[in-house]
Structure 1
């Protein structure tokens, strides 16, 4: 018997269940390292082990007051008010910091790239659990305006952790941009006709005159609350991105600890013009050594900038819209950076942003 009421679900599925266009960029020239974990032989691994020692570590009085930051409370709800370095050689890259790890980048040819967008909290229902327990909940972050999203050409993800990848945002971002991701990501997209390019380390893709390179990071991946306990551990790759336009380069490191991979990147791509480098989530009373293994301290970031020979640096990860995972306060990492910067005296300019601000290099 004909049942016309079945037509509506069929039409909905016809539009929403369109197969994604998935391309995997991996060759003899790219790099991937595997390990055996929980019986799986295809889990991804970092290129290097955790350093036995770090080049420099601030041992005491690492968070002194500074007139360069105004706060409502002790290192909480703050705003940087210090001077910014002059930008003498314009490259054409515009960097807008949306908060935590999210950036909207405008390339010299006008292409707009959204990096690690997370519009609200963690994906449901994990966000609800964290809200109930009082942890890892943040002030509502910024989000690109409609006119900015209408110009979006690419979305890139560094890794699959909740604070860098939010499934709920994909519906909003739609099918017009191309999604560039690490290996293993496409399975986390719902069907809908999305263009996804999964990439191995040192793989490259071209979008008009923009070259997009996926490069190593020292981190891990999972979509669970507690790492290393379920079968999805390290099933997807992680890394950073280099955006190259007519020989000019902008590097987004993603979450990463310090390792020789920074020197490898410099040797392959040369000195980096603009580096977006993390400085947070390294502090923990009990598991501090593990946190530092997969996140940069501010002093580690300065050493990494030297390894990359960054011409200009934008730090990120702190802020009023961060989750404060592994941090003392919302801005403790920035206080520490300004302190160790005086000790290490880096020659390269460091451009400190408040959330929502932008700068053109």
Structure 2
């Protein structure tokens, strides 16, 4: 029973203090690059400047029809029905990859560790979710199914690429719980809910072991911000962004995170060698509407193919498009996938494509 001289709010406060998060911040092994704005050095910066030009840009006839994609409407509500390549893999030494939608994956490594990547099953955290729809004229994405109870019980780690709402959602963290280890870019811990979560903040080119899998945090060419209310942001590059390399039994899986094209792909290849599996975004690139800055921090389908070749990927799995996406490419659910299949032939890319529909899984 609560003593009348011991106020309830204080009890609640003390209870929350008892479940404070455990934060481990890894030290950088390489110099971290910061912006220099009016004497401040607290904002992270990309390794490379905006490219003056790109290796290739599709300018016309970029979306020819494909018999491999069946749609209910014009490039909307689609399913990929084409054949995927037969990959030469050794059973028992594979990554099992399930695509939940957008940037969210469940990966089980060759040594049996299950890791969630950017798990987001809603749209945005409240109250931004409500404000986006009712005040800013936005829409609700078609939400994917939540991870199964068995998947959550098996999960040993959760990794986040950056702090944008479509990659980092507090309600999903609360649903997953505090039994896995959360691996994040630097300065993430303050954005977590309180609940005894074990958080490891990582700089680029750092490593943390999850069971027998080595997890490396690697650069991306992007930015960070967190909308508080419409048109007002916090963070402004004060949290880092990046991608992930999972290394297990001598095999490597790369998740790019949100990123534009830059020299960092070659840097990652130089540091870690060839990638067996590459999960690379293709759909958030609508530069014709948003301007050059948008492509600077997002990949077009042709950028993604070139990056995959530079990483010498054994296979590329595209993401970001789909029936549960936010439609940040050309504002249809699957236009980016049409463009990707076309550009694969146009560029004669040597990297095999393996196309998943949302909810499907495969072994690589």
What TM-score results when the alignment is normalised by the length of structure 2? 0.94
How far apart, CA to CA, are the structure 2 residues paired with 1:228 and 1:307?
Answer: 37
Name segments (4+ residues, structure 1) moved above 6 Å.
225-229
How far apart, CA to CA, are the structure 1 residues paired with 2:180 and 2:98?
Answer: 18
Q: Structure 1 residues 129 and 17 mapped into 2: Cα distance closer, same or farther (>3 Å)?
A: farther
Residues 203-239 of structure 1 show CA distances to partners (whole Å, capped at 9, x for unaligned) of 0011221100000000000002799975520010000
Q: What is the number of residues matched between the two proteins? A: 360
2:292 to 274, 289, 299: 289
Report whether the alignment pairs 1:263 with 2:280.
no
Question: What is aligned with 1:112?
Answer: 114
**SS at the partner of 2:326?**
coil
Q: Structure 1 residues 288 and 81 mapped into 2: Cα distance closer, same or farther (>3 Å)?
A: farther
Question: What is aligned with 1:347?
Answer: 350
Matches within 5 A, 1:202-213: 202-213=205-216
How far apart, CA to CA, are the structure 2 residues paired with 1:92 and 1:143?
Answer: 24
What TM-score results when the alignment is normalised by the length of structure 1? 0.94
Once the two structures are TM-superposed, the CA of residue 12 in structure 1 deviates from its matched residue by 7.5
Structure 2 unmatched runs, 5+: none
Report whether the alignment pairs 1:26 with 2:27.
yes
Do the aligned partners of 2:329 and 2:336 also contact (CA within 8 Å) in 1?
no
Report whether the alignment pairs 1:103 with 2:110.
no
Matches within 5 A, 1:143-182: 143-182=146-185
Do the aligned partners of 1:221 and 1:234 also contact (CA within 8 Å) in 2?
yes
Q: Structure 1 residues 230 and 163 mapped into 2: Cα distance closer, same or farther (>3 Å)?
A: closer
How far apart, CA to CA, are the structure 2 residues paired with 1:162 and 1:83?
Answer: 33
Question: What is aligned with 1:123?
Answer: 125
Once the two structures are TM-superposed, the CA of residue 322 in structure 1 deviates from its matched residue by 0.4
Do the aligned partners of 1:227 and 1:233 also contact (CA within 8 Å) in 2?
no
How far apart, CA to CA, are the structure 2 residues paired with 1:328 and 1:272?
Answer: 31
**SS at the partner of 1:337?**
helix
Do the aligned partners of 1:240 and 1:254 also contact (CA within 8 Å) in 2?
yes
Do the aligned partners of 1:31 and 1:201 also contact (CA within 8 Å) in 2?
no
**SS at the partner of 1:314?**
strand
How far apart, CA to CA, are the structure 1 residues paired with 2:3 and 2:259?
Answer: 58
Question: What is aligned with 1:198?
Answer: 201
Structure 1 unmatched runs, 5+: none
Once the two structures are TM-superposed, the CA of residue 171 in structure 1 deviates from its matched residue by 1.2
How far apart, CA to CA, are the structure 1 residues paired with 2:51 and 2:177?
Answer: 41
How far apart, CA to CA, are the structure 2 residues paired with 1:231 and 1:14?
Answer: 28
Once the two structures are TM-superposed, the CA of residue 10 in structure 1 deviates from its matched residue by 1.6
